[in-house]
Amino acid sequence: MDKVKAALPRGTPIEIWFQDEARVGQKNKITRRWARRGTRPSAPHDQRTRSVYIFGAICPQEGKAAGLVLPFCNTATMNLHLAEISLNVAPGAHAVVLMDQAGWHLTPKLELPFNISIVAIPSKCPELNPQENIWQFMRDNWLSNRVFGSHEEIVDHCCDAWNKLVEQPWKIMSIGLRNWAQEF
């Protein structure tokens, strides 16, 4: 079910956004590392299970991003993220947010801001969402191969990683631009 606002005024600028969530925690991923040939670099791995979710959205055409680090995924946290995206949409523009079909994305209980419409990406098609590529970039560069000492450290590290991404609009553009998405 797509939640697209009816009848926007003619000439309203449209921003295409992509949204997704990523879990980051003490039981973290181990990613590839550069090392001298013939050596086996060590990578820490934690068995504890504290975690948080980064709710992230990018507008590759504009090089913008909106994100929140939250304790879990549900309708209430999704509403917070939609409000955050809404604040980052240019004045007078309307955002079309493409996202997967998670239960909290398409529930009728969502409180859609006036400047946002939702379009669901088909199931089992993560390649249509460049936000997935953003997660991979963040994991490869800032979030993997580490052990977090506490829940607060996870939150701080996720916030720091997201803020690094936001400071690099050219990176958001190079990872996220999709020609097909700009033809709306």
Domain 14-23+49-183 has CATH 3.30.420.10: yes
Provide φ and ψ at 47, rounded to 5°. -100, -5
List, in order, residues 6 or more apart from 135 with CB less than 8 Å away: 20, 22, 54, 56
The pLDDT value given to residue 1: 43
Task: For residues 23 and 30, give the distance between their C-alpha atoms in angstroms, rounded to a whole number.
Answer: 14
Percent residues over pLDDT 90 in the chain: 68
Taking all residues of the chain, what is their mean pLDDT, rounded to a whole number?
88
For the chain, give every domain's residue range. Answer: 14-23+49-183
Q: How does pLDDT run across 150-171, given as a tens digit for each residue?
A: 899 999 999 999 999 999 999 9
Percent residues over pLDDT 70 in the chain: 85
* pLDDT for residue 100 is more than 70: yes
